[in-house]
Amino acid sequence: MRQVECVVLDWAGTVVDYGSLAPTTIFVKALKEAYNFDITLEEARIPMGLGKWDHINALGKLPTVAARWKAQFNAPMSEQDVDYIYNTFIPLQKIKVVDHAEPIAGALAAINWLRQQNIKIGSCSGYPREVMDALVPVAAQYGYAPDCVVASDDLPAGSRPGPWMALENVNQLGVSAVWRVIKIDDAVPGILEGLNAGMWTIGLAKTGNAVGLTKVEWQQCSAVEKDHLLRKAYGELYNAGAHYVVDALEDIAAVVNVISARIARGERP
C-alpha cells in the first residue's frame, strides 16, 4: 500500500489566489459597505482560515477593531451585526473569487506529480458552499479539479480549526487512515484543522496569508525584506504545530517523500 493516500489542500493562498487577496480585500469592503466602518488589510488577515461568519465574528473581537467599533457605535459588535456584515460579504465575495481562480504558478505541476504517485486530491476552504460553487468551475477551466471539495458550511459540526472538513475528505475519498493524509494550508486555522484530524501537516509560507503579498508585490521586495517576511511566516506556521513548512505548493514533493518514508517506518503524526 502506498504510504500517503491523500492530500487535503486549502484553496486561497494554497492553490489559487497568490497572497490570499480575494477574501481579505472583501472583508474590508463589506464592513465599509455594511456599516461605514474601516478595518485594515492587516486586521482582516488575522483570523484568516476560519469560516467566513466566524472570521467576521473574530474580527469584531480583535482589541483594535473592538475599541473602534465601540467608539463608533457605543456597543460591542453583536451577532446581528455579524449576520448583516456576512450577508453583505457573500455576494461581493462570489464576484471576487472568480477573479482569483487561476492556480498559483507551479501548483498544477505539483498536483500532477501527486496524481502520478496515485495520491488523491482532497480540498476544503473557509469559503461557504455558495462561494465555492462560484469558484470551483472557474478553477476547473484553468485545470484544477480536486477529487473532493468541502465548504465551511457543509457540515453541521462546524468548520476550522475543528477537524470536520478534513475528515469529510477522508470519508468521501475512502482513505484507509488519517495518518496516511497530509493537510496542506497557508493559514494557522488550517494547520490546526489538520492536526486536530490526526493528519500530517505542511504549511505554505510565501504564497498565502502568512506573507500576504501578491506575486508582483513579493517580486518588488528586497532580499532583506523577503528574508524577514519568510522568517516570520515560517515561525507562525511552525508555532501553530505544522510538521513541515515550505515556500509554496510547488515545493512539496521532497516533503511528501519524507513523510512517506516516516510512515513506512511506523511513525505517525
Asked if 10 is an active-site residue, the reply is yes
Query: Of 52, 96, 120, 183, which residue is the catalytic one?
Result: 52
Burial-class residue 254 by CB neighbours within 10 Å (0-12, 13-18, 19+): exposed
- Taking the C-alpha atoms of residue 245 and residue 266, their distance in angstroms, rounded to an integer, is 22
Cis before 76? omega within 30: no
Known catalytic residue at 153: no
Q: Name residue, grid cell 468521501.
A: 172
Cα angle at 114 between 155 and 260, to 5 degrees?
A: 90
Euclidean distance between the first and the last CA atom of the chain, given in angstroms as a whole number: 18
* Catalytic-labelled residue, pool 10, 54, 81, 185: 10
CB atoms within 10 A of CB 206: 24
Q: Which residues are part of the catalytic machinery?
A: 10, 52
